[in-house]
Amino acid sequence: MREVFQQELQDVQERLTEIAGLVESAITRATQAFSDSDVALAEEVIADDAKIDEAANSLDEIAIDILARQAPVARDLRVVVTALRVSSSLERMGDMAEHIAQLARQRFPEKVVPKGLRGTFKQMGAHDVAMSQKLTRLLATEDIALAAEIRDEDDAVDELHASVFDFVLGETWKGNPIDTVDATLASRYHERFADHAVSIAKKVEYLATGDWAGASSVTV
Amino acid sequence: MREVFQQELQDVQERLTEIAGLVESAITRATQAFSDSDVALAEEVIADDAKIDEAANSLDEIAIDILARQAPVARDLRVVVTALRVSSSLERMGDMAEHIAQLARQRFPEKVVPKGLRGTFKQMGAHDVAMSQKLTRLLATEDIALAAEIRDEDDAVDELHASVFDFVLGETWKGNPIDTVDATLASRYHERFADHAVSIAKKVEYLATGDWAGASSVTV
């Protein structure tokens, strides 16, 4: 019984890693579609979001089934509840990638972000992609050194996010309202993506360090 | 044992209703602070968000404790897992109210939203408040007629959200970049608040109609 249970927990972990891989692919293509105004790639990301949602829902059903059949307690219970939280955050990360792709599609054939901000968004996108890669590895290996790296990347994203607003509200900004709206939303989506990655990393870290309540808590 | 369990589930429901009441108070004051540029009221909402977070975390601990001690199955298990989902959405609704209050505070003593959009935001705010009131009642009474009303309110919010962008991107828009940024973010926060309310309403409805998987699923 115990062995079956451990195998089931491993299955949950593998599925979370798989979903994180789908998210990684989504943000990689979304940020590329965004900077290159590649509408075909954007369409792909948008279409593929349903796969992330389905994978997250399947994972949830499996986790709930484990709760019903195995009635885990203590740390094991925290692991399963944390899996539900992580799947929910991954699903939202997929949505953020989709939103970034939608912005690229909406403005096509125009570039979605005006010249002065392209470098900033390239950097934000690169950080989001790097965080996502690290998150997949963190979920696969539980190497919690990655959690600290993810937090560092997030600090960089937060700074870039603030710099977007400084730029848009500065005197040299020549964008029209549509540019301002796009920059605002794009920056927000990139930043929220990063927030969710940090939230997941913290939960994995809590579980590893024994702060089970922190692992399954609600706050980002 | 069974009786104790039913009492515990009732406690969970009462706590969710209580958190929904805190969210209702937050959005009521946030939207008022937003339209009246009432910085003291905005500060209050911002300070009070911690209470919502704490209440959501306490609820989560209680729900996890119920899972550990009672090992519920079937519908009872779905009720507890759904409570975790609902508490997470309520916590995010509180964050959206806080964000709206933060916008009001940031721009003080200026008005946060320029003249041409004040009516629109008043309406959006009124719908968010109405949804929030209905949500509290829905959680207290499980009267699922309220779920349909919440969806209708959300349709109205979506239309207003679209109209903000039509206006900001239209030819008559005279706002400067800061106005455009504020309008974009404020509209997004109001819309996300409404989305979370719909997500919760659907889950309560699913539970009531027997679609247990829908009740505890991850997607908004």
- Residue-wise pLDDT tens digits, B149-208: 999 999 999 999 999 999 999 999 989 999 999 999 999 999 999 999 999 999 999 999
Q: Is B163 on the interface with A (CB under 8 A)?
A: no
Chain A residue with CA closest to B183: the answer is A181
Q: Give the number of beta-carbon pairs within 8 Å between A and B.
A: 89
Instruction: Give me A38's structure tokens.
Output: 């590649």
> DSSP class of residue B169?
T
The answer to whether the CB atoms of A177 and B169 lie below 8 A apart is: yes
pLDDT for B1: 64
Give B81's contacts in chain A (Cβ within 8 Å): 64, 67, 84
Q: Which CATH superfamily, name and number, covers B2-216?
A: Phosphate transport system protein phou homolog 2; domain 2 (1.20.58.220)
Asked if the A2-215 domain carries CATH number 1.20.58.220, the reply is yes
Its ipTM equals 0.95
CA distance A91 to chain B (A): 8
> Would the pLDDT of A1 be above 80?
no
Give A56's contacts in chain B (Cβ within 8 Å): 218-219
Question: Per-residue pLDDT tens for A40-90?
Answer: 999 999 999 999 999 999 999 999 999 999 999 999 999 999 999 999 999
The answer to whether the CB atoms of A91 and B180 lie below 8 A apart is: no
* Torsions phi, psi for A142 (to 5 deg): 55, 30
Q: Residues B24-36, buried b or exposed e (16+ Cβ, 10 A)?
A: bbbbbbbbbbbbe
pLDDT confidence band for B115 (50 / 70 / 90):
confident
Q: Is B44 on the interface with A (CB under 8 A)?
A: no
Chain A residue with CA closest to B188: the answer is A185
A100 vs A46: CA distance, rounded Å: 9
Q: Is A40 on the interface with B (CB under 8 A)?
A: no
| Among B88, B165, B181, beta carbon nearest to A169 | B181
State how far Cα B127 lies from the chain centre: 11
B153 vs A92: CA distance, rounded Å: 23
pLDDT > 90: percent of chain A = 88
Alpha helices in chain B, H assignment, sequence order? 2-36, 39-70, 74-107, 115-141, 145-168, 177-209, 212-216
Give B184's contacts in chain A (Cβ within 8 Å): 180-181, 184-185
The CA distances from residue B86 to A127, B35, B165, B176, B201, in Å, are 31, 28, 30, 39, 9
Give B120 or A113, the one with higher predicted confidence: B120
The answer to whether the CB atoms of A67 and B77 lie below 8 A apart is: yes
